[in-house]
A and B are shown apart, each in its own frame.
Chain A
Amino acid sequence: MTTIDTAIDRAATVAMTPRRLVDAYVQEAKAECLRYLRNPGFLLPTLLFPSVFYVMFGIFLGHANSADAPRYLLASYGTFGVMAPGLFGFGVSLALERDSGLLTLKRALPMPPGAYLLGKMCMALLGAAIVSAILLCLAIFVAGAALPPSRAAMFFGVEVLGSLPFSAMGLLLGTLVKGQGAPGVVNLIYLPMAFLSGLWFPLSVMPPFLQSIAPLWPAYHLDRLALSAVGLGEGGNAMHVAVLAGFTIAFVGIAARRLRRHG
């Protein structure tokens, strides 16, 4: 039978070339970014909240602030802003897609392993880049922050890469909760962590106990690095980087185990 022969021939000759493999990763990341850029329910809160906070507290209500305030608030709201794409874009979408059957379909399809998570990571990085760029523009052109280009670039780099631990945290949360309850759970972690890490009020005005537990939260460490990038650092950068890397590895490790076991 000729049909069988040709079918077998085709299977033997057609292999996935490296170029097509790379294309699969690129397409997945592109699709993931596009779908979120087109989703106002995700995009608006992510981009708007930190920008609105910065405009309100850094610019309109900023007359009585010290000269350092525009930079200080840039670090705080920048950190607040880059947490969201990871926690929500990664965590909530994973939780929803585990529930909706999309993840099951992708596992059945010959999607290259890792393309799914890598796509979400690219989306979170892009989200973080957009938030950071908007805040930088507001700080430099509207609030008049004294920020040389080298520091602005450093801030941008720190915040974009700094979204990775929160993507990892989102990944873990996405494997723990499933379905429609996920946004609530993520908010219950996102908002208190932002507060307890001193992103809304400086830690120095908070009770000593809350100050003492601040290093428990990843957001605290990213905020310290961002402050350092804009020239308000207090040192210890290597330690902060190490803590964030540790959090990332731990979150990914636990999540990978859960995904392997439960899918």
Chain B
Amino acid sequence: MNNHTRIARLEHVGKRYGAVVALDGIDLDIHRGELLALLGPNGAGKSTCIGLLLGLHRADSGSVTLFGEDPQDIAPRRRIGVMLQAANLPATLKVGELLRLTASYYPDPRPLAECAALAGVTDLLGRRYGALSGGQQRRVQFAMAMAGRPEILFLDEPTVGMDITARQSLWAAIRELVAGGCAVVLTTHYLEEAEALADRVCVIAKGKVVSEGSVDALRARVALRRIRCLTSLDPGMVAGWPDVASVEARDDRLAIATTQAEVVVRRLLHADPLLSELEVQRAGLAEAFTEIARDADTAQEAA
């Protein structure tokens, strides 16, 4: 990961829509051949990031580059592929015609049959787009995204509306492209999708990158486990125990964060034999993600 492999970059980018700050001085690098997943709550700024990299908007401050050029110029965009979340393609055109049209925009397009095979739409080429199911339409959009032999593929929520088999076959196609050297920038609401695909995950909240790293590193950041129980023990006392990272109390309900769940649970049960509703949870990516977003919130309030 160095400057030679970097192919797209947001550098201290700010963007506001009226009074709403969409991006607040964000920095983001995309490297050749990697699969980067952008995660974050709705309105966090994921789509704005993608929109800037596609040249759809202009940044208010900072710089946006795609292959070292301005993405609003057409030349760098001849090296990308795009699948947007909401795009109603012409219903009366046939799948083959849509693919041929998209391929015509590129200098050295992928052969139509190859695109269709990769996306699994070979049997749909003669069908009209409007007659396809939602999942089939997403596959056609994916085939269109690959038409130009992209070096970066932008996929905005690619598997929305797909059943589990269709989703897995799309994941396989994405992995095949990445293996062939194509970088992929993916936004998704499905955390298992990020877990299944991403080399690197970038969590965006309130217009900033709040965490960045591999899926494992992200999980490790919250190696903590969470113990919940009903108890009469004094929260202040529990917070003073070794290995306890933090304690939250609401009425008699305690939420204890710790890296040593077994030790703390043993001690809890010993101290309060009447303790009930004991629950121990490991942080999945979902938990890690909310944890990180919350940390970012508190950090911001403290600042």
Residues of A within 8 A of B (CB): 3-4, 7, 10-11, 14-17, 20, 23-24, 26-28, 31, 34-36, 38-39, 100-102, 104-105, 107-113, 263
Give every chain A residue within 8 A of B54 (Cβ-Cβ): 107-108
**B87-95, B190-198, B233-241, B273-281: which lies at the A interface?**
B87-95
**B15-23, B72-80, B245-253, B262-270: which lies at the A interface?**
B72-80
Within 78-123 of B, Cβ neighbours of A (below 8 Å) are at 78-80, 82, 84-93, 97-98, 100-102, 104-108
A-facing mask of B137-150, CB < 8 A → 1, else 0? 00000000000100
A sample of 13 inter-chain contacts (CB < 8 A) reads: A4-B33, A11-B79, A24-B104, A28-B101, A28-B104, A35-B92, A35-B93, A38-B93, A105-B89, A107-B54, A109-B102, A110-B106, A112-B74
- A108 to B154, alpha carbons, bound, how many Å? 10
The reply to whether A110 and B148 contact each other, CB–CB distance below 8 Å, is yes
A-B contact count (CB 8 A): 96
The reply to whether A101 and B88 contact each other, CB–CB distance below 8 Å, is yes
The reply to whether B67 and A108 contact each other, CB–CB distance below 8 Å, is no
The reply to whether A101 and B84 contact each other, CB–CB distance below 8 Å, is yes
- A31 to B129, alpha carbons, bound, how many Å? 13
Question: How many of chain B's residues touch chain A, expressed as a range?
Answer: 35 or more
Q: Which of A100, A101, A104, A105 has most B Cβ within 10 Å?
A: A105
- A27 to B100, alpha carbons, bound, how many Å? 8
Q: Does B56 contact A (CB under 8 A)?
A: yes
- A100 to B55, alpha carbons, bound, how many Å? 18
- A113 to B107, alpha carbons, bound, how many Å? 15
Q: Does B5 contact A (CB under 8 A)?
A: yes
The reply to whether B77 and A31 contact each other, CB–CB distance below 8 Å, is no
Q: Which of B55, B78, B87 has most A Cβ within 10 Å?
A: B87
Give every chain B residue within 8 A of A111 (Cβ-Cβ): 105
- A152 to B181, alpha carbons, bound, how many Å? 60
Known contacts: A101-B86, A110-B77, A110-B106. The answer to whether A27 contacts B101 by CB under 8 A is yes
The reply to whether B105 and A112 contact each other, CB–CB distance below 8 Å, is yes
- A134 to B56, alpha carbons, bound, how many Å? 42
Known contacts: A100-B88, A105-B87, A110-B78. The answer to whether A11 contacts B151 by CB under 8 A is yes
The closest CB in chain A to the CB of B94 belongs to A34
User: Which residue of A11, A34, A108, A109 is within 8 Å of B92 (Cβ)?
Assistant: A34
Least Cβ distance of B129 to chain A in Å? Answer: 10
The reply to whether B89 and A102 contact each other, CB–CB distance below 8 Å, is yes
| Given A16-B106, A105-B82, A110-B74, 19 new contacts (CB under 8 A) | A3-B32, A3-B181, A10-B108, A11-B67, A14-B108, A27-B100, A28-B104, A34-B93, A35-B91, A35-B92, A39-B92, A100-B88, A104-B87, A108-B54, A108-B82, A109-B77, A109-B102, A110-B106, A263-B56
Give every chain A residue within 8 A of B90 (Cβ-Cβ): 31, 35, 102
Least Cβ distance of A214 to chain B in Å? Answer: 38
The reply to whether B108 and A102 contact each other, CB–CB distance below 8 Å, is no
Q: Which of B78, B100, B104, B154 has most A Cβ within 10 Å?
A: B104
- A20 to B103, alpha carbons, bound, how many Å? 10
- A110 to B148, alpha carbons, bound, how many Å? 10
The closest CB in chain B to the CB of A93 belongs to B90
The reply to whether B77 and A108 contact each other, CB–CB distance below 8 Å, is yes
The reply to whether A113 and B74 contact each other, CB–CB distance below 8 Å, is yes
Least Cβ distance of A149 to chain B in Å? Answer: 36
User: Which residue of A17, A101, A105 is within 8 Å of B107 (Cβ)?
Assistant: A17
Within 59-74 of B, Cβ neighbours of A (below 8 Å) are at 67, 74
The closest CB in chain A to the CB of B57 belongs to A263
The reply to whether B32 and A7 contact each other, CB–CB distance below 8 Å, is yes
Least Cβ distance of A231 to chain B in Å? Answer: 40
The closest CB in chain A to the CB of B76 belongs to A110
The reply to whether B107 and A15 contact each other, CB–CB distance below 8 Å, is yes
Give every chain B residue within 8 A of A24 (Cβ-Cβ): 104-105
Give every chain A residue within 8 A of B74 (Cβ-Cβ): 110, 112-113
Give every chain B residue within 8 A of A31 (Cβ-Cβ): 90, 93, 97-98, 101
- A110 to B88, alpha carbons, bound, how many Å? 18
The reply to whether B97 and A16 contact each other, CB–CB distance below 8 Å, is no
- A116 to B86, alpha carbons, bound, how many Å? 19
The reply to whether B56 and A108 contact each other, CB–CB distance below 8 Å, is yes
Known contacts: A3-B33, A27-B100, A31-B101. The answer to whether A107 contacts B107 by CB under 8 A is no
The closest CB in chain B to the CB of A27 belongs to B104
Within 165-217 of B, Cβ neighbours of A (below 8 Å) are at 181
User: Which residue of A4, A11, A16, A107 is within 8 Å of B4 (Cβ)?
Assistant: A4
Least Cβ distance of A123 to chain B in Å? Answer: 11
The closest CB in chain B to the CB of A41 belongs to B92
Least Cβ distance of A111 to chain B in Å? Answer: 5
Least Cβ distance of A188 to chain B in Å? Answer: 25
Least Cβ distance of B108 to chain A in Å? Answer: 5
